[in-house]
A and B are shown apart, each in its own frame.
Chain A
Amino acid sequence: MNTNKDSLSDPVELDESRDGERRFLFHLSNDHRILRTGREVIAACQLDISVEVWVEELNDLLLSVQKWATGQAARIAACYAVLSGGKVCLFVVPQSRTFDFDLADELATLSRTLFQQYNVGPIELGQIPAHEQDRFIHPGDARLIYGLENGAHEAVDAQP
């Protein structure tokens, strides 16, 4: 019985629903190490690019959105990013209590720009109201990339 051979030939399974938030440490032959979540690994595999490249693309995208949101400060209260179901979801909270139709037009344009410039897979962009944002965002899963989180603290940089 060659258990060693069996264990090498059996694939190691990564289940998004179970392992999405689990962290994986990759040991590279050049002694470098890469730490990524299961969700990040899956997203990179879907695009057939390395995890490192995908994460760099994602961070560049988030910085770009942060910069865009800063230019729309009169309209935007906050912006969150969530990785969900193989998509990058960007939730924009407008300053207004009602759906901002002009901002929605800007988001349609932004969606096209992001698609053309960043290879991160499907991106979903949308507006959500401040008073009901907990219906769409779980605080533990979302990354605040612009604005104030419930008015409690400053925005964090879009960094890994």
Chain B
Amino acid sequence: MDSKTAHMKQWMHNREFLRTIHAGYPDWAVTAIFYTGLHAVDTLFAHLKIHGITSHRERNDVLLRTNRFSRIWSAYHPLYNLSRTIRYMARPQDWVPWQSLEREVIGRYLTPIETSVQNLTGEPLELPRIKLATITAESK
């Protein structure tokens, strides 16, 4: 399997996983959303033959320095930051409530990353809308 196909497969794999996360785990949901975006970005890099990226710092550096990736950076940077901090928190649900994930974290960050990747590869994908678990009294 070539690198682009492998990253795209993991991108879709993570998308599917998002639907299975129980409400009440916003920290893990944010982490999974971030890695969904990361594999979308790596799919683009593989498409553009940008190889040799082995760390977050290197990936961030390419996104930050490259003008054609500026829209991706605008969405990727907040998502990266959020995923880096929320997993260390004692009460992550206070920082990002579950109810805000779909609209803010997916709608504001992941969706623009995925849209830009499709635009830059010139390969539109019919990505289904990500629907997260509904919060219930039990999952609070």
Contact = CB atoms under 8 A, between A and B. Distances in A.
Contact of B84 (A99, A101, A126, A132): A126
Q: Which of B64, B65, B73, B77 has the most CB of A within 10 A?
A: B77
B94 A107 contact: no
B64 A115 contact: yes
A7 B85 CA distance: 46
Interface residues of B, number: 26
Interface string B46-86: 00000000000100010011000010011101100110111
B95 interface: yes
A129 B94 CA distance: 9
Given A98-B96, A115-B65, A125-B81, A105 B88 contact: no
A63 B109 CA distance: 29
A52 to B, nearest CB: 26
Interface of A: 97-99, 101, 104-105, 107-109, 111-112, 115, 122, 125-129, 131-132, 135-136
Interface of B: 57, 61, 64-65, 70, 73-75, 77-78, 81-82, 84-86, 88-91, 94-97, 100, 104, 108
